[in-house]
Structure 1
Amino acid sequence: MLKKINLKYLFIKLINGQGVGAILVRGASQSLIVQIIGTGINFISQILLARILGVNNYGDYIYVLTWINILLLIGVMGFDTATLRYMPRYDVDQDLGLIKGFLLSSQKIVLISSSIVTAGILLFVFNVSKFNYSLRMVFYVGALLVQPLALLQLYAARLRSSKKILLAQVPLQIIRPVFLMLITGCIYILTQSHLPGVLVMAINLCSVIFALGLSIWAFRKNLSPEIRNARPDFNTKEWMSVAIPLLIISGMSMVMGQMDTVMLGALIGTDVAGIYSSAQRISTLVLFGLQAVNTMAAPMISELYYAGRIKELQRMVTLASWGIFAVTSIGSVVLIFLGHWILSLFGQAFVIGYLPLIILLIGNVINALCGSVGFILNMTGNQKISGRIIAGGLVINFLLNLCLIPKWNMTGAAIATATGMIYWNLFMVIVVIRKLKINPTICRFN
């Protein structure tokens, strides 16, 4: 009984404490809960939208939304990640002028770049004759999503850098899909007919603007009067020199995440790519722990590193690695046991994706063993090294897919993806240990 009380006391002390471990656990726990709830809401939302829109309209809607999410990378220009690096750093130095200058410059740059992306989409769609009227109209409204979505990601990063995890994630991951689902559902009940894609896209636009308004309000409410009244200092050249490599890294990571499915479709067939895509999506469920921990860990890495608190940084990184590994390992074991059944929910033909699923899960577990290596490099001024390693992983991924897919089909694609993932994670671990003298893994090295 005494042991139980002591363990409970220690756990409560950890959660309520002000040390790096307590802050990390609180933030990561909040992020994990929001991600799980948000994923459930989005899953339900997509099912409802598929029924409300009908097959053709839903296809137009998803097609446009996919392109918007890809081009959004250019709209944000890497300043979401750059915010996680610079805001904690300037806060440590109490350089209020640079904080104010960074806030003003980042918002201005994101507004300009997202406006250019929007104009580019509108101009492209206007000049492409093969799009039918319905798809064209969905594109026109969808293009207007880029700017508010880019700003929403920027403000979410600002709130994350201030360790306001719930305020950062709830508007984007919960409020936006709930708003979309409620308004679309009410209109569908009133009309009792399939809704046009352009209308649902317009409702989506309204939901993003509403979520953005909440994020701006939350950030301004938590912004100190000293920063608000500070005279801005600008270091735009340095900020751009960091943001652009971070943009390129995000782009390469996105390409790497889709390369296996795209090459399967090109080399074997879209039916096989569809089955593999389902296995791949299921395998990413175990990444909740990695994403949740990194949500909180990224700004803390920057803060502790630039404050020179390396021992605390090592302790936080080790704790983060254990959290990532625990969630990923447990999730992987569950999916290995339930994989056949989950795949069968998509249809019996999808069960052949079980072996690729296991291979991808092994890659994710090794990824988890390496900890938050990417963020450690990016948050400590080593984004160019990180970019080169990711580029190497991208090349290896492409070549292995090219060689293995014709021989082993989906299994080959899974081996190629897992191998590329393992390569760049292990390479980053070596660089972090040698260059920064920080061990990002759960393993001890003498």
Structure 2
Amino acid sequence: MRFSAATTAGRFLPQRLALRVSPLLGRIDAVLFTADERGEAGRMSLIAFTIRIISAVIAFVSQVLMARWMGSFEYGIFVLVWVTMVIVGNLACLGFHTSVIRFIPEYRERGLLAELRGIVMASRLFVLVASTAIAGLGALGVWLFSPWIENYYVVPFILGVICLPMIALGDLLQGLARANSWALFALSPTYLVRPVLILVFMALMLAAGYAPDARTAIFASIAATYATTLGQFMGVTARIDRKLAAGPMKVHFAQWFMVSLPIFLVESFFFLLTNADVLMVGAYLDPDDVAVYFATVKTLALVHFVYFAVKAGVAQRYAQFTHGEPERLAAFARETVSWTFWPSLLMALLVLALGQPMLVLFGPEFTAGYPLLFLLVFGVVARAAVGPCESLLTMSGNQNICAGVYAMTLAFNIGLNVLLIPFFHLWGAAIATSLAMVFEASALSFTVWRKLGIVMLIFATARKGTA
């Protein structure tokens, strides 16, 4: 049985440097986010986009170096383990890393400081406990199922689960920072500090004589993850303490959990959907094919990051506008479609122009994936054409139906991969992925229109009943 996964971007300076950078980031954030509401969201999206652009460059360079240092076989093991940990670590938050973005602005707007203190404290404790339990169960599961797993995966996976609690806590801290519009605090540790640290620690270990294999890379990742998350925890906690005075605390855990659970399902389906194509390639084709497809997907990172940058900037503003301001919500939502589509289209054209020389950096055999880019780019642009619909649904209380849309899309994607990959190989995976993205975009846009009366489509962004 083969396994594979697409990396969700490397993310990462030693702990001491991260702690020194935190006060500076706080001062920059305080200056940047003092204007009107829409300008705040726009600046946050711009900062997020800039960080993701830099992160894309860092991630691409680091992946090329790691592949050349380790060779395709060991690199493939590391990619599978690390990406699995990133995905499971994110899901181990059980939706709290997103639900806090909904509740914190609401509590702040309504002056519910006791509830605000409660969700800040309870979310951190819950995520840390839940992710630690999941890590333990994961290690036990790998050990129990080791007879059915290739032996070269067993030890790396057991080592990898050590990262889970810190990955989950880092994602929650990112949500807490986003809820307060602290863009640099939210995104820099995950997308800049951690990937740089992984690369630095890996280079130092190789210089010290460690073998250039997957285990060495996982040890470097463990060290980088703990240094980054602990530094982020101290920085975010200090800033929250300065902004939120000590006082009584109210915990509505049942309510928060019931809202977070559908969000968890949305995030689960989204992450599986994002990685399903490479997982299916790993199940049906040889490791060489997996490597080519993975490298091809990596070149699309620049296009994907536009969508994620806008999503990071607007989710908190969606949450504020949903409380009795339907007209402002509609106008702002329509505007965010343009923020997503036009930069994505520009980046897509850039990736198509530079895709072949970028793939050559991985090795000459990787250029076989260049024709696939044209299909994959089509799907990414189709998703960008409807804007961050799932954030709008989630922040407006429609997370259940959003989870249903993602479940249908995931089933559609997996079904197409099962049908097409055995006959068309990598082309089958690319066709399935592109069609699934078009289906996802169409279903989400239609759902937003039916539930909120807002048309989120780049050339038809009008209020229902006025178009």
Scaled to the shorter chain, the TM-score interval is: 0.7 to 0.9
Given the alignment, which residue of 373, 388, 391 partners 2:389?
A: 373
The TM-score, its normalising length taken from structure 2, stands at 0.82
Counting only pairs closer than 5 Å after superposition, residues 56-135 of structure 1 correspond to structure 2 as: 58-127=75-144
Identify the residue that residue 205 of structure 1 maps to in structure 2: 222
**Following the alignment from structure 1 to structure 2, what is the Cα–Cα distance between the partners of residues 242 and 310?**
21
Given the alignment, which residue of 437, 441, 445 partners 2:457?
A: 441
Change (3 A) 1:339 1:185: closer
| Contact 2:89–2:167 under 8 Å retained in 1 | yes
| Offset of residue 159 of structure 1 | 0.5
Identify the residue that residue 234 of structure 1 maps to in structure 2: 251
Partner of 1:223, secondary structure, is helix
| Offset of residue 73 of structure 1 | 3.5
| Offset of residue 262 of structure 1 | 3.4
The TM-score, its normalising length taken from structure 1, stands at 0.86
State the Cα RMSD in Å: 2.9
| Offset of residue 384 of structure 1 | 0.5
Q: Bigger CA drift: 253-262 or 360-369?
A: 253-262
Partner of 2:248, secondary structure, is coil
**Following the alignment from structure 2 to structure 1, what is the Cα–Cα distance between the partners of residues 128 and 77?**
27
Identify the residue that residue 358 of structure 1 maps to in structure 2: 374
Identify the residue that residue 414 of structure 1 maps to in structure 2: 430
| Contact 1:52–1:188 under 8 Å retained in 2 | no
AA in 2 matched with 1:19: D
Is residue 54 of structure 2 the alignment partner of residue 37 of structure 1?
A: yes
**Following the alignment from structure 1 to structure 2, what is the Cα–Cα distance between the partners of residues 251 and 163?**
25
**Following the alignment from structure 1 to structure 2, what is the Cα–Cα distance between the partners of residues 111 and 339?**
40
**Following the alignment from structure 1 to structure 2, what is the Cα–Cα distance between the partners of residues 274 and 52?**
15
| Contact 1:355–1:411 under 8 Å retained in 2 | no
CA shift digits 1:75-126 (9 cap, x unpaired)? 2111111111111122221211111111222122212211111211332344
**Following the alignment from structure 2 to structure 1, what is the Cα–Cα distance between the partners of residues 359 and 70?**
25
Partner of 2:444, secondary structure, is helix
Change (3 A) 1:380 1:264: same
| Contact 1:68–1:145 under 8 Å retained in 2 | yes
AA in 1 matched with 2:195: P
Is residue 399 of structure 2 the alignment partner of residue 383 of structure 1?
A: yes
Q: Bigger CA drift: 375-384 or 387-396?
A: 387-396
Identify the residue that residue 167 of structure 2 maps to in structure 1: 149
Given the alignment, which residue of 292, 297, 302 partners 2:319?
A: 302
| Offset of residue 357 of structure 1 | 1.6
Q: Bigger CA drift: 28-37 or 211-220?
A: 211-220
How many residues were matched structurally? Answer: 430
AA in 2 matched with 1:92: E
Partner of 2:456, secondary structure, is coil
Change (3 A) 1:332 1:390: same
Q: For structure 1, which runs of at least 5 residues remain unmatched after alignment?
A: 1-14
| Contact 1:279–1:354 under 8 Å retained in 2 | yes
| Offset of residue 210 of structure 1 | 2.2
Identify the residue that residue 9 of structure 1 maps to in structure 2: none
| Contact 1:73–1:247 under 8 Å retained in 2 | no
**Following the alignment from structure 1 to structure 2, what is the Cα–Cα distance between the partners of residues 282 and 257?**
14
Change (3 A) 1:244 1:23: same
| Offset of residue 147 of structure 1 | 0.9
| Contact 1:96–1:226 under 8 Å retained in 2 | no
CA shift digits 1:293-327 (9 cap, x unpaired)? 11111111112212x23333333323321121111
AA in 1 matched with 2:120: L
Is residue 409 of structure 2 the alignment partner of residue 399 of structure 1?
A: no
Q: For structure 2, which runs of at least 5 residues remain unmatched after alignment?
A: 1-31
AA in 2 matched with 1:81: T
**Following the alignment from structure 1 to structure 2, what is the Cα–Cα distance between the partners of residues 133 and 354?**
33
Higher alpha-carbon Rg? 1
**Following the alignment from structure 2 to structure 1, what is the Cα–Cα distance between the partners of residues 294 and 73?**
21
| Offset of residue 265 of structure 1 | 4.4
| Contact 2:64–2:362 under 8 Å retained in 1 | no
Counting only pairs closer than 5 Å after superposition, residues 255-274 of structure 1 correspond to structure 2 as: 255-267=272-284, 269-274=286-291
**Following the alignment from structure 1 to structure 2, what is the Cα–Cα distance between the partners of residues 313 and 172?**
29
Question: Which structure shows the bigger proportion of residues in helix conformation?
Answer: 1
AA in 2 matched with 1:26: R
Identify the residue that residue 175 of structure 1 maps to in structure 2: 193
CA shift digits 1:408-429 (9 cap, x unpaired)? 4433332322222212222221
Change (3 A) 1:380 1:342: same
Identity rate, percent: 24
